Amino acid sequence: MIHIVDYGLGNIGAFLTLYKRQDIPAIAVSTAAELAEADHILLPGVGSFDHAMYLLNASGMRETLDRLVIEQKVPVLGICVGMQILGNASDEGQGAGLGWIPGRVRDLGSRGPRHQGLPLPHMGWNDIHPQRPLPLLKGIADPRYYFLHSFYFDNDDPQDCGATAEYGSEFTCIVNRDNVWGVQFHPEKSHSFGMALLKNFAEL
């Protein structure tokens, strides 16, 4: 069962619909009690880093999330801002992230797009380039995903980079450490590529 963390951010309905189409059980959860029995956790997010962390901490689910992910090693997939808050901190805000994967969120414009006259936010379809075999991308040929962001995850350990994309310069678009996964793009807007990725996550 996929437990989708509903803390007030992210298109929860889109993920529920995509999983229903694939006959994969999924529910939205908004309390610690509902989350407690999760065996797969989806952590969506849109907007700003600090606002996402404020809402997540205020939801009452933070302690349960830490226990499930850190102690019980339940697979978790952070999406967009849900990926960014997996890190320690962000140039976009002042607060602390979850700290599950060491790294800091940085301004994508500082990587090259702004200097090359490319518009920000980075919006649209991009090829992604796996850096190693990833079960999240199993069976997906020539993976392409839909992006909408102005910040990116700067992982401390190069081994935590699962895949990159390029927009002015190369940046990490999939992070992974053990049971913790994050994608900067939007699988719920990425048609068959996104459905395949979400199915692969359910099978981890």
Return the active site residues.
80, 186, 188
Cα distance between residue 145 and residue 176, in whole Å: 17
Cα distance between residue 120 and residue 55, in whole Å: 26
Cα distance between residue 138 and residue 130, in whole Å: 11
Tokens 């919006």, residue located: 123
CB count within 10 Å of CB 148 equals 14
Three-class SS state of 105: strand
On whether the CB atoms of residues 69 and 41 are closer than 8 A, the answer is yes
Cα distance between residue 145 and residue 158, in whole Å: 22
